Structure 1
């Protein structure tokens, strides 16, 4: 009996670093804000890697339907393009599903062309959060793509796969050498969320109803690199279990991609708390996860849903595993935070975006700023870590509103922050508004990566000015945070005692640039100006100029072949430097409060010297 063989793929998306030029690596499936980040060599994994919820849920549904199914997350694996194509050749699927996104589209189309060339009989299906997937002209222009499934795609995609499987079994479906299909278009047209070819024409079906979350199986995880999925959220540890307890958001932020391109409106739905906690408990039993991240669009919309999950976690004895959430500060209460803390809540992401109420109102966020600061401070007061997000370049932003936002960010007791430039992703209300006003700077989707590169301007700012504000904000926030901690008499004395207990006066110490630059620079000033040691710094070359104004340039030792302290790539460099300089101890700055994810940094530190003298966090805690 024939069984349709299906590959679900989150395909590679990266560019290797070259001599004198940084590369990049991207995240796509599972990310609300697909983006790239600089890559200087070493492993392609590490840092933020989201779990591919839609793709893995669809794979679980296909497996439940009896289809031969494999899901491959090349991004989480750190897989090369060559290895990906070799795997496809070995697996020999009849259908290849690729989740795509706006900034990865050209990369993904190039992969599809190669797949169609090498595996002409395979059908290729695109899905994901990109507006062109629901346009007939996209299929017309890209002959290598056989179907697109737009919106919230799992149910429609598996309906299509079941139809293809049924027709294959009944021999009413076949693939030509060119991968053309012979399924009756009328059967395909009964499935929602599709764009497909009907002979020379292209047809589109209507978007279906929002998915009933109770009908979905738990995401498939068995063949995935579960050790690599990670959202640090102020120091959550690896390996991390990422789950969803709800979908959708009742608010209407004009920039938010998933509600507009995936959910098609404010369709807020919750899973049953019992099913959520069952999934957590089962996954903790099967794999040694050390933290949990609940990756809901907004976790605390439904108070009863939230508190029931917390109470069930306490009843099941799951409070020893720390967990994090994304929430709205103005929907949080002190009582709710108290109960979540008792259930093991470790950290919260709060989206603030702006310190100007009118700016927030104009983007549809409807955030009550009067309540935000109080809740953020209370969250921190009871020992829950806080991550805050801010956005520059919103439609009614002024110089005053951005400066006020930077000042607010610097004044709040956050453990970490994210400053972004508003990115009007095509298909969102923001894009429509910016395009109508002539504010879109480029329609090259490669540049829509939502990080530090502006793709639009506003009435008052150029893209370059917005990029400058992001750099300024990180600098001011970092300086403010570090000065609150490192310059206290209590920290200074504790740090001096810690170092003096390990090495004597005049010792040669090396400080690693392994955290926020403000932390490293201020630690260096303290060590160089107030303590009796000869200080050296090991840093990637892009940070070197920050240190030569503090210590002699000859003591600033730079590397270029990796950007993430890869032990394999820095071992020889570190050993040579140790022999040349007779280094006696290392000091490690840590971005997060627990030091998680710093294993490679610590290995390099021990190659540089026999002893790690101290490790210091952004909170001024000495953790080594």
Structure 2
């Protein structure tokens, strides 16, 4: 059985679509490809089980449709698994239809957050053979392949067709342990393609996930929290298992920095144990470790322990400076504690990365500007080093999407106009901001990088040629983001109801 795992060509004049390892979706002018942990795990699992397996990320490789079709023709594949997201789902429906016409014997499996939110929709819209409903699709796909190889029943959670009819087969429920997954084969899955993340300074770098996905798991906007890893399905690897992957990445792959892309790294005893293992093993001196973090999740002593253990950067979801917004999003953080958390992390010697969103339908322009002013204050004071701003998007499957439909918040009448959920324009009506103003504010937040006080503070920290390279990459990324949010003259603004 010859199997392909990866991403098909997804060409668009808007830019490069970022699908892999992305909770949100954007077209980027200056693309950063993130290593797709779950799909790469699936490929490694099959390779270890002696399947004839191929890996091809056509987007990261820059492979167009003609070349991709030639590859399929030459290899005579039996099964192809790929991941999709909301803004390109219609493109992928058409791609699957075209693929089945060209290669009628090729079986196609699809996974991802959108198809897990609306599985029947995709089964009806295109002739896909298998649809993995839910997260842990690396384990689910292995079960599917084993069932096909042994001529056994299709596992629960994988939708399929039988005698021309769709078999609705529930959600996939992962019963095992993440420690049971193999360490990803980074050579086979082309880790070299995913080296452009400017915020990670060590090269080579690697993305991992110590857990799937977030132990908080409530944020109403997070599509992974509600479609792939809903409350009650969170799993964390053991600290010992994560350390084994760290050792492999450092010793076998020469990795200098690791980003742990679990929604939020597991804190408490888990974090302290992992830090202790990093220190005792000496790998705290061999690699830099970065991760996602929540405000208020750790204390001053734990920040210091993380620094000692080799941690470099912490990425926080600030989201908004309005406590009303934080509460509506079920974020579970306190706006008044943001500055203190940033300050404690900086005192420990850690780099602070902030992410935030604009365009909430209940926020006024005054509310949104509070977010800008808080971000600017943190950056200028030196309590934060890097920021990232996006337009809030209510992805299908999230409580925010359901609320948007119920309260008629969308700027357009058709909630299945999925191509408009690509962050190239706002999709929400707001209290008193036009779409142009929302995009301009997103742009304005990125202009904080150009603040003279911030620039002087940043230049004062340059100590090496590596710091210079990092700064130049950052400048390039900032101007790329400024282009990404330069949209204007969009739909007529309407007030939120």
Pairwise TM-score range, normalised by the shorter structure: 0.7 to 0.9
Tell me how far 1:479 sits from its aligned partner.
4.1
Contact 1:49 1:229 in 2 (8 A): yes
Of 209, 224, 249, 1:258 maps to: 224
Q: Secondary structure at the match of 1:160?
A: helix
Of 136, 144, 148, 2:131 maps to: 148
**Are 1:135 and 2:119 an aligned pair?**
yes
Residues 448-459 of structure 1 mapped to structure 2, 5 A cutoff:
448-450=421-423, 452-459=424-431
Normalising by structure 2, report the TM-score: 0.86
Contact 1:233 1:324 in 2 (8 A): no
Q: Secondary structure at the match of 2:29?
A: strand
Residues 299-338 of structure 1 mapped to structure 2, 5 A cutoff:
299=265, 301-319=266-284, 320-338=286-304
Of 395, 419, 428, 2:398 maps to: 428
Tell me how far 1:231 sits from its aligned partner.
6.7
Compared with structure 1, are the counterparts of its residues 281 and 515 closer, same or farther at alpha carbon in structure 2 (3 Å cutoff)?
closer
RMSD of aligned residue pairs (Cα, Å): 2.9
Contact 2:9 2:58 in 1 (8 A): yes
Q: Distance in 2 between matches of 1:514 and 1:321?
A: 20
Compared with structure 1, are the counterparts of its residues 487 and 139 closer, same or farther at alpha carbon in structure 2 (3 Å cutoff)?
closer
Residues 83-122 of structure 1 mapped to structure 2, 5 A cutoff:
83-122=67-106
Q: Structure 2 unaligned runs (5+)?
A: 463-470, 485-497
Partner of 2:387: 417
Q: Distance in 2 between matches of 1:276 and 1:358?
A: 37
String of CA shifts for 1:479-519, please: whole Å, max 9, x gaps.
44x3244399x97xx9xxxxxxxxxxxxxxxxx99764999
Q: Secondary structure at the match of 2:316?
A: strand
Q: Distance in 2 between matches of 1:137 and 1:207?
A: 15
**Are 1:29 and 2:20 an aligned pair?**
yes
Compared with structure 1, are the counterparts of its residues 479 and 138 closer, same or farther at alpha carbon in structure 2 (3 Å cutoff)?
closer
Of 274, 279, 282, 2:240 maps to: 274
Contact 2:116 2:227 in 1 (8 A): no
Partner of 1:546: none
Contact 2:217 2:225 in 1 (8 A): no
Q: Distance in 1 between matches of 2:50 and 2:26?
A: 35
Partner of 2:490: none
String of CA shifts for 1:213-266, please: whole Å, max 9, x gaps.
133222343322212324747342332111111113224111001111101324
**Are 1:372 and 2:369 an aligned pair?**
no
Normalising by structure 1, report the TM-score: 0.69
Number of matched pairs = 463
Tell me how far 1:137 sits from its aligned partner.
4.1
Compared with structure 1, are the counterparts of its residues 92 and 133 closer, same or farther at alpha carbon in structure 2 (3 Å cutoff)?
farther
Q: Secondary structure at the match of 1:104?
A: helix
Q: Secondary structure at the match of 1:359?
A: helix
Tell me how far 1:74 sits from its aligned partner.
2.0
**Are 1:196 and 2:187 an aligned pair?**
no
String of CA shifts for 1:25-63, please: whole Å, max 9, x gaps.
011122111221126xxxxxxx52111112112222223
Tell me how far 1:304 sits from its aligned partner.
1.4
116-125 or 7-16, which deviates more: 7-16
Tell me how far 1:381 sits from its aligned partner.
2.9
Of 436, 444, 466, 2:417 maps to: 444
Of 2, 6, 9, 2:6 maps to: 9
String of CA shifts for 1:165-191, please: whole Å, max 9, x gaps.
123xxxxxxxxxxxxxxx8xxx23xx2
Residues 184-583 of structure 1 mapped to structure 2, 5 A cutoff:
187-188=153-154, 191-211=155-175, 212-230=177-195, 232=197, 234-249=199-214, 250-299=216-265, 301-319=266-284, 320-412=286-378, 413=382, 414-442=384-412, 443-450=416-423, 452-475=424-447, 477-480=448-451, 482-486=452-456, 516=475
Q: Secondary structure at the match of 1:329?
A: coil
Contact 2:115 2:122 in 1 (8 A): no
Greater relative contact order, per chain length (Cα 8 Å cut-off, separation 6+): 2
Compared with structure 1, are the counterparts of its residues 487 and 62 closer, same or farther at alpha carbon in structure 2 (3 Å cutoff)?
closer
Q: Secondary structure at the match of 2:15?
A: strand
Q: Distance in 2 between matches of 1:280 and 1:517?
A: 30
- Flag the structure with larger Rg: 1
Q: Secondary structure at the match of 1:103?
A: helix
Compared with structure 1, are the counterparts of its residues 334 and 542 closer, same or farther at alpha carbon in structure 2 (3 Å cutoff)?
closer
Tell me how far 1:133 sits from its aligned partner.
6.5
Compared with structure 1, are the counterparts of its residues 382 and 278 closer, same or farther at alpha carbon in structure 2 (3 Å cutoff)?
same
Q: Structure 1 unaligned runs (5+)?
A: 17-22, 40-46, 168-182, 495-511, 521-538, 544-624
String of CA shifts for 1:501-560, please: whole Å, max 9, x gaps.
xxxxxxxxxxx997649999xxxxxxxxxxxxxxxxxx9x989xxxxxxxxxxxxxxxxx
Q: Secondary structure at the match of 1:15?
A: coil
Contact 2:20 2:33 in 1 (8 A): no
Contact 2:93 2:122 in 1 (8 A): no
Contact 2:117 2:227 in 1 (8 A): no
